[in-house]
Structure 1
């Protein structure tokens, strides 16, 4: 019997959870950025300016829902830092802690994450490749919900946007961590290259946040995922026309499918061995852009973060 990873009922909504405006170091005023995303067909946006949570309630409209957010950063040197994005609970317009720039002498990475999580935020570890974070450092951190598997802005800066290997290592260590993709927009070239599609019960900020916290979304830089789930002993995926579909499992190895020359792939299935701790899928379109499902977890070691 087929069982979808996504809720049976609801509406698909496209959004970006990481962006910057002239409130901090972005090139676009909040009003202009909201207009750009609404015109591009996005349903929701979070303006996560550095160390400032501004709800932008005045920009809330039918076309584009605004989610209050913030990006905190700890700078260790010119080359190394930790950046963490937090999306506030729906309707919350200020943090319960002093929302300001913190320094390593003030708190550790873990204390920063815990503070944001304690405020009710959906907490994402941002662009760890660009931040020059070490594997050991990432694996020691706890209590965050997601990691940016793709960041369009840092990919444009220095090929520092793809963090799938870090996410994979977290999953292999039994961590229940989701994956997001984002623009992290600062300038025009960062626009519309990374986003998430959320399956929400309805088109409201509360429903979006409920879906994000439950993992009812996927990350993409191009392809559309129509469905992902289990069908008997198989994990199955259907998507827009792609050249590759990969099923990633652990510890048993998954399986990859490639379209023949001149053809495309829009669905695939992989037979599970029964020993997997998780199964996820990645599809790649003919322009090399990817979409990533969140994992189906079978491993009881992986409690909700």
Structure 2
């Protein structure tokens, strides 16, 4: 069974990608935290754009922590050009407040700045959980994605990109990297700016014994979580010839693997579903997607066969 369902503790709901008026969001950090807490979230990472035009903010949200709500410091990092000439966007959750800024004055690459791979590695070495942000929105190539060897995860879903430009998907990039042997996790995020309906649409459910930044970060790095737009995953267990998925009521359970390998089971109000694994005999990994009647999804992290 995936570690998210065997690790000690309980699930905590959180968003890992959010912006305030410290960069290009329209609400104060205090109001962003208030809204997520009011919506029932257990934690939030406020990740403003870490560039010179905003004075390289790592927005301090510690004062907005409560007994039932915590925050993790972080930022969206930018440095170096992707193949399309645009600046990298790399999510770093759990950055120290004294993280050294890059030479990134604005959203355009400049000479003599470190690459995306270099700043991602610096962030990971500093203790952050590092993710490749919105690969479809960014126009990321596979060669680009291969270069970020410090990433813990890929955004499989970005709600802001879904609402703002219909480019929310990271599954293609993630699956190709998995098929090359990269041990990556999958996260769903909001990327909320509160300038459009870009909030409360994608989150992670993290299994930890405490709702503290330290416990949540350790669980994220270990892969002790799943991602969702609404449905709950309650168990994913690999058996002989089949995988059993326990969930809230869903209409489809789909198992994906390398290349074209995929098997779907459809039905009504399914809560315990077995999916045969005949298609996956040559796939080194599989992952699970469930879809409810409203079309909302939840995603497991990959299982290595």
What TM-score comes out, normalization by structure 2 length?
0.88
After the TM superposition, list the runs of 4 or more consecutive aligned residues in structure 1 that deviate by more than 6 angstroms.
none
Provide Cα deviations, 1:40-96, integer angstroms capped at 9, x if missing partner.
11000010001021231111111210100010124759983320010116xx4332x
CA distance, structure 2, for counterparts of residue 5 and residue 233 of structure 1 = 20
Q: Which runs of 5+ in 1 are unaligned?
A: 299-305
Q: Is the 8 A contact 2:154 2:174 kept in 1?
A: yes
Change (3 A) 1:182 1:252: closer
Q: Is the 8 A contact 2:231 2:297 kept in 1?
A: yes
Change (3 A) 1:156 1:4: closer
From 113, 129, 146, give the equivalent of 2:120.
113
After superposition, residues 153-192 of structure 1 pair within 5 angstroms as 153-187=160-194, 188-192=196-200
Equivalent residue number for residue 208 of structure 1: 216
> Is structure 2 residue 66 aligned with structure 1 residue 61?
yes
Q: Is the 8 A contact 1:82 1:128 kept in 2?
A: no
Equivalent residue number for residue 87 of structure 1: 93
> Is structure 2 residue 243 aligned with structure 1 residue 238?
no
* Deviation of the 1:4 alpha carbon: 4.8
* Deviation of the 1:218 alpha carbon: 0.6
Provide Cα deviations, 1:230-261, integer angstroms capped at 9, x if missing partner.
234432211111111101123682410112xx
Q: Is the 8 A contact 2:104 2:110 kept in 1?
A: no
CA distance, structure 1, for counterparts of residue 136 and residue 261 of structure 2 = 25
> Is structure 2 residue 230 aligned with structure 1 residue 222?
yes
Secondary structure, aligned partner of 1:190: coil
Secondary structure, aligned partner of 2:160: helix
* Deviation of the 1:156 alpha carbon: 1.0
CA distance, structure 2, for counterparts of residue 157 and residue 100 of structure 1 = 29
CA distance, structure 1, for counterparts of residue 150 and residue 115 of structure 2 = 13
CA distance, structure 2, for counterparts of residue 42 and residue 73 of structure 1 = 27
CA distance, structure 1, for counterparts of residue 103 and residue 29 of structure 2 = 20
CA-based RMSD: 2.1
Give the count of matched residue pairs.
290
Provide Cα deviations, 1:253-293, integer angstroms capped at 9, x if missing partner.
2410112xxx2222222343554311210011112111110
CA distance, structure 2, for counterparts of residue 215 and residue 233 of structure 1 = 24
Equivalent residue number for residue 29 of structure 2: 30
Q: Is the 8 A contact 1:55 1:67 kept in 2?
A: no
After superposition, residues 248-259 of structure 1 pair within 5 angstroms as 248-250=256-258, 253-259=261-267
* Deviation of the 1:191 alpha carbon: 1.1
> Is structure 2 residue 69 aligned with structure 1 residue 70?
no
